[in-house]
Chain A
Amino acid sequence: SQQGEEDPQALSIQEGENATMNCSYKTSINNLQWYRQNSGRGLVHLILIRSNEREKHSGRLRVTLDTSKKSSSLLITASRAADTASYFCATDKYGNKLVFGAGTILRVKS
């Protein structure tokens, strides 16, 4: 990966449980975004958190950002089978490009 690691690489949970995915990056950033990708499909934007923000919520999603540790976490509460997908974090420092992490494969079993 160009940017860093996502942890865990794969996660399998039961429906109704919470899922936490972590992302680390290497350089200072302006923003960090989380995306979801169903197998072989497009990247769906979930949430954007700016470097001066520490936490953000959107529905069942909670994202935290710790710029001192260069890390972010995505929490999905009360998971559903439809949440099964790959989740990527992506950062930008300058310029127009997003740099993606390696992704976490989440499987929610019903």
Chain B
Amino acid sequence: AAGVIQSPRHLIKEKRETATLKCYPIPRHDTVYWYQQGPGQDPQFLISFYEKMQSDKGSIPDRFSAQQFSDYHSELNMSSLELGDSALYFCASSLGPGSSGNTIYFGEGSWLTVV
């Protein structure tokens, strides 16, 4: 079965640079979520979209922005990168909001290393 696809899988950037992560949800899924997981940490919610509109916002820095496009894929843009942004970034998707009891499926994640 098709899963959530994230690209790139690995990314190395220098401080103050910009990075863009892409997420392709499971076909027909209309809700996308972004999470950040630091080393040895639990995943922290960043932001979510439902039907291309932002539906919830978590601990996403102002330097980060995201959007969901007409084909439901999503991109997370990170600017003025800091060393502390080094983490595993997950995208997840669901058919309808997760709070309605719909299973949320995660991608394999994108490793971002800021040097």
B-binding residues in A (CB < 8 A): 1-2, 30-31, 33, 35, 40-45, 48, 50, 88, 92-103
Contacts and interface: CB of A to CB of B under 8 A. Distances in A.
B33 to A, nearest CB: 7
A31 B42 contact: no
A95 B105 contact: no
Contacts of A1: 42
Nearest to A49: B101
B25 interface: no
Nearest to A42: B108
A100 to B, nearest CB: 4
Contact of B105 (A41, A45, A102): A45
Main secondary structure of the interface of A (DSSP, over half): loop
Given A96-B31, A96-B56, A33 B104 contact: yes
B98 A45 contact: no
B43 A43 contact: yes
B27 interface: no
Contacts of A102: 42
B64 interface: no
A43 B42 contact: no
Contacts of A2: 42, 44-45
A62 B4 CA distance: 26
B112 to A, nearest CB: 13
B104 A95 contact: no
